[in-house]
Structure 1
Amino acid sequence: MSNQAPPFPPQAYPPPAPDQHPTPPPAGSQPQASGRRGPGWPGVIATAVACSVLSGAGTYAAVTALDPAGPTKPITRQAPAELPPAATTGDVAWAEVATAVAPGTASIQVQGRQAASSGSGVVYDDQGHILTNHHVAASLGRNATITVTMPDGLTYPATLVGSDVDTDIAILKLENPPAGLAPATFGDSDRLVVGQPVMAIGAPLGLQNTVTTGIVSALHRPVMAQQGSSGNNPFGPAAEAQYSATSAVQTDASINPGNSGGALVDASGRVIGINSSIASNATSAGTAGSIGLGFAIPANTAKTIADQLIAHGQAEHPLVGVSVGDARVNLGSALVSGAGIASVSEDSPAARAGLREGDVIASIDGVNVDSSTAVIAYVRSQEIGSTHTFTIIRDGEEKEIEVVLDASA
């Protein structure tokens, strides 16, 4: 994949890790994340299952492996059930939702030379494309062997079509897709509300077809997760690690290692997010588990990137053209946290819109962005060519500036 420039330069991305950040696990285990919105955040863990991990000393310790073999007898493929009516509050017929969405889900096994991992996926179309996370599909390299197990127990070989480290989205393709695939139905993640009931479905710890329920706990939660050092490096060869930036859907539905790449659906069974990471008090990814703080990539972002990966094998990202860092500024008697602009690139969207060095970005489209991480995550989730209202603080006054996002070079 060709290098993609981040919306902001590397010194602001990722932000410095807090002192209380847990010690990273050995190389080859599930990646840690450094994203946080405010003080006191626990570590954020990408939720793929590592079946064997490569330690820093060059040895590896095996844990419970998954059996990729499916049954030998033919099984009739289940057609998708009719989706129940949408709901945002009140009682939900989750049994009906689970039945309806199950045919559009998948379990993924990846076997590298010295390590293996597993995760979940979503049937994207009837051509055999499977949507999942970059850290599930591509973390062990392009020479890894990938298999996909469908809810009926049948397992198929698959290849990696493309992956995008910046958004943690990847597309697989079944080599010989069966007839009658049931693609998942996607909803509009921009219409989500806090408190809305949701269900996560996937293969936590290799347990296929597992569903858990909860609510949308928060929206536009900035999450930055370390993706390792392989694949597309947005900062060039000097950077040691790459990070995905997500303006995430937060949920208290139980999400555990192995849920990565699986669906977060609403009460009508429509996919509104792709589960990707969890916050954890664990000191390593290997001991992490759900504490009711799970994060999903919004469905609209996932679809935008997936369509590009299918068409071109790689994805472009929106560009603002500013260098930013965390900042606080007075507005009257109040103190505003935001992203301070350190420099503006020539002929960039920011320059054309009138953003200046010294401005502090306080919100975008009415969504508070109280750090450089929050700005990066929000911009990364938008479409190229879209127009957004940046609310800035300049010389002690609040101003609104319209910015049209370009594609990164």
Structure 2
Amino acid sequence: MACEQSERNPRSTMMNASAGAENQAAGTPKTRRKAGKRVGPAVFVTSLVAAGLLGGGTAAGAASLWGTPAQTASSAQTAQYTPVIVNNTSSVNAVTAAAQKASPSVVTISASSGSSGGTGSGIILDAEGHILTNTHVVTLDGQAEAAAIEVRTSDGKVYAATIVGTDPLSDLAIIKITAPGLVPATLGDSSAVKVGDTAIAIGAPLGLSGTVTDGIVSAVDRTIETASSAVPSSDSSSAGQGSISINVIQTDAAINPGNSGGALTNTQGEIIGVNVAIASAGSSSTAQSGNIGVGFSVPINVAKRVAQEIIATGAATHGQLGLSVKYKASGTSSEFTTGAEVAAVTPGSAAAEAGLKAGDVVTELASHTVTDASELTAAAREQAAGTTVKITFQRDGQDQEADITLGVATAG
């Protein structure tokens, strides 16, 4: 829909992630800092890429990471794996304890379609076999609508999986396996996460199942724009590559290709985020150089809502405002107001029903501080369609607040 594009900054840069070729990235993305205070210039990195689809380029290359031929049946087979080993129980630390608790709930995912394949990670949600991961993992960066999916659990067994549903607007997906003895993850509260907290990433970087890394939470409630091949682009020059704006937790815990869909946990072993993207300081030709300490995870509170909707109906909904946002150059009108200036409101839309008008400057939506179009889009998309939230805006220099019942966003 037009509003999906119009609620973004029209000058934002699209990022492209190619399927089955280790997500070669192009373009210059932005990451933006959100806080209840004046925001400085946007932070630029050379590239932002999917954190975890490790593409071998061919299905055989992907299958070789399993150590045994890929299975097509739902029965299990033994494969090489690395359990969490504690050699000295008297000297374990919080990271060891968290890894022991969460690792049985993290799986390695293999996706293949024709001659293409790749691997990522996933999180077991329940004993029925529902697994949370990224859309770009199970669709090979949007290139395969019906990829063959296999899952290796922490005990080294491999199971065939089916795709329950994908959600391109959040880059989240649910797959399902039938297996005995599954260990559901313990989900934490991402709204309680704060900068400086210990963060632990668990997944399969470079196909190495059960890998544990740790660091800290570097930022919370940060908005990023990342490429999504599963989202159509309104720009004919983008070769079908769209982009999405999402709010994320930033961490310096090492995240590499293969980690996508894996867990970001706290020291209690509770899942606080789903790893989704990494930044690279290299050029587009070296964008997969690996971890530089800037990784991003979808907050688990958002992921949980999306997962529940997909499990229940096969799809998730997202809110839409129904307005377009004007790009403001520095030194122009409203230069002392940090926010997203409304250029136009679609008649009959959520924004129109809430009384917004062209010239209003939105400064907050659903408790998220808004400084530009991408943050406004991300704040709306984080909510389910039909949700009523508070919107704060300035009109003629005066702060105003209204309730807004969000419309339905689409990926098209």
| TM-score bracket, shorter-length normalisation | 0.7 to 0.9
Alignment check: 8 A CA contact 2:361 2:394 kept: yes
Letter in 1 for 2:199: V
State the shift of 1:358 in Å. Answer: 1.1
- Give the stretch that moved more between structures: 242-251 or 399-408: 399-408
State the shift of 1:114 in Å. Answer: 2.1
Unaligned runs of 5+ in 2: 33-41, 70-75, 84-91
Q: Which residue of 2 aligns with 1:143?
A: 146
Provide Cα deviations, 1:42-71, integer angstroms capped at 9, x if missing partner. Answer: 3111012333338xxxxx996995126389
Alignment check: 8 A CA contact 1:133 1:169 kept: yes
- Give the stretch that moved more between structures: 333-342 or 261-270: 333-342
Q: Secondary structure at the match of 1:259?
A: coil
Q: Which residue of 1 aligns with 2:324?
A: 323
State the shift of 1:128 in Å. Answer: 0.9
Q: Which residue of 1 aligns with 2:221?
A: 220
1:158 and 2:157 aligned: no
Q: Which residue of 2 aligns with 1:52?
A: 56
Q: CA RMSD in A?
A: 3.3
Q: Which residue of 1 aligns with 2:88?
A: none
Q: Which residue of 2 aligns with 1:248?
A: 248
Q: Secondary structure at the match of 1:66?
A: helix
Q: Which runs of structure 2 are paired with 1:282-361 in the superposition (5 Å)?
A: 282-284=282-284, 287-327=288-328, 335-361=336-362
Q: Which runs of structure 2 are paired with 1:38-77 in the superposition (5 Å)?
A: 38-53=42-57, 65-67=64-66, 69=68
Once residues 139 and 248 of structure 2 are traced to their aligned partners in structure 1, the CA distance between those partners, rounded to angstroms, is 21
State the shift of 1:202 in Å. Answer: 0.4
Once residues 18 and 63 of structure 2 are traced to their aligned partners in structure 1, the CA distance between those partners, rounded to angstroms, is 18
Q: 1:72 to 1:399 in 2, by over 3 A?
A: closer
Letter in 1 for 2:5: P
Q: Which residue of 1 aligns with 2:365?
A: 364
Provide Cα deviations, 1:340-382, integer angstroms capped at 9, x if missing partner. Answer: 2111122222112221111111233453322111111122112
Alignment check: 8 A CA contact 1:256 1:289 kept: yes
Provide Cα deviations, 1:14-61, integer angstroms capped at 9, x if missing partner. Answer: 64345xx98x5766531648453215333111012333338xxxxx99
Alignment check: 8 A CA contact 1:110 1:147 kept: yes
Q: Which residue of 2 aligns with 1:264?
A: 264
Q: TM-score, normalised by structure 1?
A: 0.82
Q: Secondary structure at the match of 2:128?
A: coil
Percent sequence identity over matched residues?
35
Q: 1:74 to 1:352 in 2, by over 3 A?
A: closer
Letter in 2 for 1:67: W
Alignment check: 8 A CA contact 2:78 2:158 kept: no
Alignment check: 8 A CA contact 1:328 1:338 kept: no
Q: Which residue of 1 aligns with 2:89?
A: none
Once residues 185 and 234 of structure 1 are traced to their aligned partners in structure 2, the CA distance between those partners, rounded to angstroms, is 36
Alignment check: 8 A CA contact 2:203 2:210 kept: yes
State the shift of 1:237 in Å. Answer: 9.2
Q: Which runs of structure 2 are paired with 1:377-392 in the superposition (5 Å)?
A: 377-392=378-393
State the shift of 1:331 in Å. Answer: 11
Q: Which residue of 2 aligns with 1:170?
A: 173
Letter in 2 for 1:136: V
Letter in 2 for 1:150: T
Q: 1:346 to 1:195 in 2, by over 3 A?
A: same
Q: Which runs of structure 2 are paired with 1:77-226 in the superposition (5 Å)?
A: 93-139=94-140, 140-174=143-177, 177-226=178-227
Once residues 160 and 263 of structure 1 are traced to their aligned partners in structure 2, the CA distance between those partners, rounded to angstroms, is 19
Q: 1:28 to 1:16 in 2, by over 3 A?
A: farther
Provide Cα deviations, 1:173-196, integer angstroms capped at 9, x if missing partner. Answer: 11xx22221111111212222222
Q: Secondary structure at the match of 2:215?
A: strand
Once residues 31 and 374 of structure 1 are traced to their aligned partners in structure 2, the CA distance between those partners, rounded to angstroms, is 26
Q: Secondary structure at the match of 2:174?
A: strand
Letter in 2 for 1:149: R
Q: TM-score, normalised by structure 2?
A: 0.82
State the shift of 1:401 in Å. Answer: 2.8
Q: Secondary structure at the match of 2:65?
A: coil
Letter in 2 for 1:323: S
Alignment check: 8 A CA contact 1:199 1:213 kept: yes
Alignment check: 8 A CA contact 1:222 1:246 kept: yes
Letter in 1 for 2:243: Y
Once residues 182 and 243 of structure 1 are traced to their aligned partners in structure 2, the CA distance between those partners, rounded to angstroms, is 34
Once residues 127 and 405 of structure 1 are traced to their aligned partners in structure 2, the CA distance between those partners, rounded to angstroms, is 32
Q: Secondary structure at the match of 1:358?
A: coil
State the shift of 1:336 in Å. Answer: 3.0
Q: 1:364 to 1:68 in 2, by over 3 A?
A: farther
Letter in 1 for 2:257: P
Letter in 1 for 2:106: T
Once residues 334 and 326 of structure 2 are traced to their aligned partners in structure 1, the CA distance between those partners, rounded to angstroms, is 23
Unaligned runs of 5+ in 1: 55-59, 79-90
Q: Secondary structure at the match of 2:195?
A: coil
